[in-house]
Structure 1
Amino acid sequence: MAWAMVLMLAFSQSPLTGYFALFFASLGFLTRAFMETIDEVGNNSIEALQATGAGYFHIIFQAVLPASMPQMISWLLYMIETNIRDATLVGVLTGTGIGFSFDLYYKRFDYHAASLVVIFIVITVMLIEFVSNNIRRVIL
Structure 2
Amino acid sequence: MPEPTAHHVGITVADLDRAVAFYTDTFDLDVVAEFSVGGDAFADAVAVDGATGSFAHLDAGGARIELVEYDPEAAGSDPPELNHPGAVHVGLAVDDLDAFYEGLDDDIETLSQPRTTDSGTRILFVRDPEANLIEVLEA
TM-score by length of 1: 0.24
* Structure with the larger helix share: 1
Normalising by structure 2, we get a TM-score of: 0.24
The structure with the largest alpha-carbon Rg is: 1
